Homo-oligomer: A and B are copies of this chain.
Amino acid sequence: MFNKIVPRSEDYAKWYTQVIRQAEMADYAPVRGCMVVRPYGFALWENVKEQLDSRFKATGHQNAAFPLFIPMSFIEKEAEHVEGFKPELAVVTHGGGKKLDEPLVVRPTSETIIGYMYSQWIQSYRDLPVLINQWANVVRWELRPRLFLRTMEFFWQEGHTAHATHAEAKEETLRILDIYTDFAVNEAAIPVIPGRKSESEKFPGALTSYTIEAMMGDKRGLQAGTSHDLGQNFAKAFDIQYLDANQKQQHCWTTSWGVSTRMIGAIIMAHGDDQGLVLPPRLAPTQLVIVPITPKNREDDKQAVMDAVAKICETLDGVRYHVDDRHDYSPGWRFNEWELKGVPLRIEIGPRDLQKDQVVLARRDILGRDGPRGGKTFVAIDNVANEVKQMLDTIQADMLKRATAFRDANTFEPTSYEAFQEVVEEGFARAWWCGDEACEAKVKEDTQATIRCVPIAQPDGAGHCIVCGAAAEEIAIFARAY
């Protein structure tokens, strides 16, 4: 551990991988493209899951589990869907020592198998809506893996709902987009932009895809969650019908939506710095680390410090804390480890602090003594719990402010295509777009940037397409992206 991490400015991709591996978040598996999520990374994922899951349940969704294996013929039933996913499939051809009659696909996503089950379960309008989510692993063949961002197997939740009307399905799609936005902003401290995907970027088989788009520390965009209005495409392919109140058969309207372990990558890249991870307090597996500093060969002092630590711990109800009592490691070594791991707050406490009835609070997001209040504060030992809780709230709020300021400082509104091509290398470009796929394709060819989304929040009025100059009614966000 503690090989030096390359600075972000020098090699961002290398920084990313080094931080993840040295902080023991994840590791590459022996199978190319696969990932092992180690306990520290998984604890972060568990907190992400808990926050999303409680929001899903509060809006009437239930969890279930659908099969890993999908008959190849199912994948082929929806034309756009098969075109989108066929190149990425892992295929089981043998089972129980025999060649299978029909190959089985390891699910890349579950619209097809769930569509089939819904066609069995849904009979009448009284059965609607069906609001189901599953937490699952999915597989998409991937030869250029990056931990959390692009791996052959990844973990996610996929919601699948069926409704009686298109209006209800649309409402559901946007309700979930709101949940994703709320989660990203208020839990992950990532100021995402909710918006609509362009036709060329939407989910294979969807009518309309919505997304939340975030800016990473290298100013690139990252899609952090998607919500799809599937229209009746899958209902027709899988015959999901219901008898309406007038005794007429109708096709359902379905949606699907997902957030994956990619969110972990987003958290790392939105907040990390050259010292390592910086985790938002609300999701951090450990919110506070207490580092007792005990002089060698002075057992009395050591005992007094450890007694004080024990007393502090008793007051820390509701705080996820850890005491690092590895006395044989130097304080500096221990500080480094927890900074690398992005623990939001640290308490340092030694004999001299005890004499003054105080401890040191050190923020991870502001290292050293920099920043408006300074990264380190002395607080009275009797008031530690209050100070810790307040400080965690402050850190959470400051992280969001900082990420928002960073994004805004790197978002440009170019007025010529020439200027556009320049600024899109440097961050997000907000620009009028006529809606023509040809303009979108030209941008991609000229700059490698894509339309991240057409934001839900649009300015008044209209303008001229940044590419072709034609009349345009919507602003789009263009950026190079993960």
Contact = CB atoms under 8 A, between A and B. Distances in A.
Interface stretch (A91-99, A201-209, A297-305): A91-99
A301 B66 CA distance: 44
Interface residues of A, number: 56
Contacts of A321: none
Contacts of A92: 90-93, 106
A29 B113 contact: yes
If over half of A's interface residues share one DSSP class (helix, strand or loop), that class is named, otherwise mixed; here it is mixed
Given A29-B117, A104-B31, A106-B106, A64 B38 contact: yes
Interface in A15-67: 27, 29-31, 34-39, 41-43, 45-46, 62-67
A104 B74 CA distance: 23
Nearest to A70: B31
A30 B67 CA distance: 9
Interface in A112-159: 113, 116-117, 120-121, 132, 136-137, 139, 141-143, 152-153, 155
Contacts of A94: 89-91, 93, 103
Contacts of A307: none
Contacts of A69: 31, 34, 90, 139, 152-153
A461 interface: no
A414 interface: no
Interface string A80-114: 00000011111111111100000110100000010
B88 A62 contact: no
A63 B42 contact: yes
A185 interface: no
Contacts of A463: none
A46 B63 contact: yes
Number of copies: 2
Interface string A431-467: 0000000000000000000000000000000000000
28 contacts: A29-B66, A30-B74, A31-B67, A31-B70, A31-B104, A34-B68, A34-B69, A35-B67, A36-B67, A36-B117, A37-B65, A42-B64, A43-B62, A46-B63, A65-B155, A69-B152, A87-B97, A89-B94, A89-B96, A89-B97, A90-B94, A90-B104, A91-B93, A92-B93, A93-B94, A95-B152, A96-B141, A136-B137
Given A36-B66, A39-B62, A96-B141, 20 more contacts: A31-B69, A34-B67, A36-B64, A36-B117, A37-B65, A38-B64, A39-B64, A39-B132, A42-B65, A65-B137, A65-B155, A68-B153, A89-B97, A91-B95, A92-B93, A92-B106, A93-B93, A97-B141, A106-B106, A136-B137
